[in-house]
Amino acid sequence: MRDLGGLWSDLTDLVLPAGCAGCAERAPGLRQGFCSRCVGELESLRPAPTRPDPAPPGLPPCVALGPYAGPLRHGLLAYKERGRHGLARPLGALLAEVVAAAVGPRRPVTLVAVPDTARAARSRYGDHLDRLARHAADRLRAAGWPVRVLRPLRALPRPDSVALDSAGRAAAADAAFRLRRAGGADGSVVLLDDIVTTGATLAAVSRVLRDAGMTPKAAAVLAATQKRHHQ
């Protein structure tokens, strides 16, 4: 079982008519979240360091639960884009595992999630990463970690990153975040995001926090995209 407690009760919770978030299976008695096969795949993942190549300046050490593939990818898409907000608890529990791996021995931590833009938050009925951060904090506190969740940043409107190349992502990220308030961090500051691709967003957020005296120790993400090598 995991150091922060078994995930089965989180990954398979209240009965819902929706299929498995990881494979869309509609087996009899399927519960909210993931089927037993997808739970097994998710529980087999272990947080590990990851780093885009090339890494943007200012990117802190980054730890990911696994590659952006399989049940993890499909679960994130179901949560973010298909309104399966009940997945915030199991995904937040998984993110807590990544935070623990990124920080090391138990100590006070401050979690800072990359904020959604106002438009994205409206479309998702709330800031999706803020929900994950709060569930991750709950799991860490239950395991005895002193945890704070801060929202020191606001996100400005920016172009859809899907249509941008690496240089475009970096430029958009640099202009995308503003400090709302500084201070209040305890212990190690850990940035949270769901997916790391080029690292431009995490690096931009890290620079803003560093200038405010809140230098992140690490970034914790659920998934890391894999760079494709063309023949």
Q: pLDDT tens for residues 153-209? A: 988 876 566 566 666 666 667 677 888 876 677 899 999 999 999 998 999 999 999
Query: How far apart, in whole angstroms, are the C-alpha atoms of residue 206 and residue 176?
Result: 12
Distance CA 21, CA 10 (A): 13
Burial 110-122 (b: 16+ CB within 10 A, else e): bbbbbbbeeebbe
Summarised one tens digit per residue, pLDDT across range 52-69 is 999 999 999 999 999 999
- Give the lowest-confidence range in 29-38, 127-136, 150-159, 179-188: 29-38
The mean-pLDDT minimum among 7-21, 125-139, 167-181, 200-214 falls in 7-21
pTM across the whole model = 0.85
Report pLDDT for 109: 97
Which amino acid belongs to residue 203?
A
